[in-house]
Amino acid sequence: MQLSKSLFLLTWMCLFFSNFFVSGVPINPLGFDLPLTSVSLLWNATKSVLNVFISHQDNTLVIENGIISVYDLGNKSNSDSFDLWLKEQTNISFTRILDNIGGIGSNLQNVSEGAVIASPSKSKPNYFYQWIRDAAITMQSLIEYLKDHSDDNNTPYSKKLRFAIESYIVNNYILQHLDTKSGTWESGDTLGEPKFLVDSTPFNEHWGRPQRDGPGLRVITIADYLKYLENNKIDISHKKLPSSKYIYEEIVKKDLTYVINSWNKIGFDLWEEVNSFHFFTSITMLKALKVGIELAVQFQDDTFLSRLRIAFTSLRMFILIESGFKDAKIPYIIETPSLTGERSGLDIGSILGCLRSHDLNDGTDLIAIPFSLTDSAVMGSLIGLINDMKYRYPINHEKGNFNNGFALGRYPEDVYDGYGLSEGNPWFIATASAAEFIFKLAYHLYDQKLDLVITKDQYAFYSTFINLNPNIQEDKVIMPFASKAFIKTTLSLLNYGDTFLEVIKLHVAAGGHMSEQFNRYTGYLEGAEDLTWSYGSFWSATRWRDKALDNMNNNSVYIGN
């Protein structure tokens, strides 16, 4: 038995290192530059620490040791300055979010209480409006802050945030009842209106409408706030909101009815460009229906509960089978299937949809809602965007090392430059969301104390930052929880996420300012200034970084050189 294991190890190592040489010439099987001396070091390290075994029953490779990171995990020379910048920029970002909320923003005039402006920019471009989508996502950041600081619920700062959230709910009650270009309140179609003036009156100019993601996102946000209040035994304080049941009946239920009636209708995407079915819209609608089912149970709304369950089942089936979001021949999510032949289908919206629709602290999301962050197609979307944009944007060419993070944009075929139509640029939202995805993945693995299971169609993702040969023949690789291989891989994962934040660090302007985009050639800010969603995306990424690190520390993760 020992002899056969030794023969296997010898064979495995020979096969692995034979990939480094063709006729004596070093090649690059891992996707990053390795000088010959590094190959020698890898060989020596592997000989001394490699400890793997294989189960032929299910064609699975189990690795407990021998993983080598692309990064120097023991190098702390730059970490102090980077951590200091992260802390400063995170605080700046949250402050800038609050600056863009009516009623608490420091420089906002004639903006309704609770209205979230997309940007202070009023010309070239004019983003001085409130979008339903942006506002819901922004308010989620305030709720997450409150949940993270639940020990401080009685402080003036926490009360200020609750005032902002409850003002947002009241303001959205007003917006729901306005007749707009999308339709009337009586018909319910007005809920598909994407944006409003900052004084909470209708925007009556030509626009890409309806956009059907807004009501579902609003449901997710408001329901999360109600759960926060319940868990912390806090009463609603706004005089126009009598109770949680009132909010459910008069606001949330209206949005849920819209989702029930419109999930099978086309609408414009989150980028406001294409009228069709979109993954982001459908998957966030599904999450809203799941949340709605929980609320209907809580408030004993049995008749409506039946409608929600029917819609949930139908929409889930649509997403999985009928929509075309996943093609067996394509390794990633197709954001807008109707554009097949015109676009690749890659879109950061698919990653955003995954992040918005899966609450990692609610394990039922991972079962009920497909395409979580561990799904191969979702990982394929991220790696597909990275592999495209590391070449597409010239500022990425300067990085040299293709195993680091890159500046990411919305989708490969993008031509919106922040002012008009020419060439698309990297976006802060996209780049920060890539980091958030990676940090959430690390958090999830430690939170659930799960073995790391890497399926064959995920090899390309993981081989970006560890010495996992993407061409190995086994159907999957398993790294047992807390094994050295597991720890090194997850530490490498965190380092990989940091490299996306380092990209943002390079392009944030003096004073920590972020716009919508940064130029693909120069790296300087482009488009709407102080974009609220940019700050929210960065804040959310660093929040999940902290949570992942806390989970690792709680599991006493340490790895030496």
Q: Is the pLDDT of residue 298 over 70?
A: yes
- CA angle 522-495-498, nearest 5°? 40
Q: Has residue 329 been placed in a domain?
A: no
At 387-431, the pLDDT tens digits run 999 999 999 998 666 668 999 999 999 999 999 999 999 999 999
Q: Is the pLDDT of residue 48 over 70?
A: no
Q: Are residues 157 and 91 in the same domain?
A: no
This prediction has a pTM of 0.89
**In terms of DSSP H, where are the helices of 263-369?**
279-298, 302-317, 348-357, 363-368
- Residue 489's pLDDT is 96
Domain extent, residue 468, equals 61-109+392-560
* Catalytic entry in 272, 273, 417, 502: 272
> ω before 194 within 30° of 0 (cis)?
no
Q: Are residues 431 and 552 in the same domain?
A: yes
Question: At which of 324, 341, 366 does a domain end?
Answer: 324
Q: Are residues 76 and 225 in the same domain?
A: no
* Catalytic entry in 189, 255, 269, 375: 269
Q: Are residues 280 and 402 in the same domain?
A: no
Q: Has residue 124 been placed in a domain?
A: yes
Contact 47, 17 (CB under 8 A): no
Q: Has residue 24 been placed in a domain?
A: no
Q: Has residue 175 been placed in a domain?
A: yes
Q: Are residues 177 and 290 in the same domain?
A: yes
Classify the C-alpha dihedral 41-476-459-19 as positive or negative.
positive
Calpha distance 179→225 (Å, rounded): 27
Q: Is the pLDDT of residue 154 over 80?
A: yes
Report which of 511, 534, 360 is spatially closest to residue 450, judged by C-alpha positions.
360
At 73-111, the pLDDT tens digits run 766 556 889 999 999 999 999 999 999 999 998 778 899
CATH number of the domain at 175, please. 1.50.10.10
Mean pLDDT of 175-188: 98
Question: Residue 486 contacts by C-beta under 8 Å, 6 or more apart in sequence?
Answer: 445, 451, 452, 479, 480
Q: Are residues 77 and 147 in the same domain?
A: no
> Residue 206 is which amino acid?
H
Contact 218, 193 (CB under 8 A): no
Q: Are residues 116 and 191 in the same domain?
A: yes
Q: Are residues 294 and 145 in the same domain?
A: yes
As for how many domains the chain has, the answer is 2
Question: At which of 306, 324, 342 does a domain end?
Answer: 324
Report which of 141, 119, 144, 145 is spatially closest to residue 130, judged by C-alpha positions.
119
Question: At which of 324, 355, 375 does a domain end?
Answer: 324
Q: Has residue 416 been placed in a domain?
A: yes
Check if 451 is active-site: no
Q: Is the pLDDT of residue 470 over 90?
A: no
Mean pLDDT of 157-186: 98
Q: Are residues 90 and 195 in the same domain?
A: no
Q: Has residue 371 been placed in a domain?
A: no
Contact 480, 414 (CB under 8 A): no
Taking CA atoms, 277 is separated from 150, 267, 303, 324, in Å, by 39, 7, 28, 9
Q: Are residues 398 and 502 in the same domain?
A: yes
Mean pLDDT of 1-11: 39
Check if 189 is active-site: no
Q: Are residues 405 and 494 in the same domain?
A: yes
Q: Are residues 188 and 316 in the same domain?
A: yes
Mean pLDDT of 34-53: 39
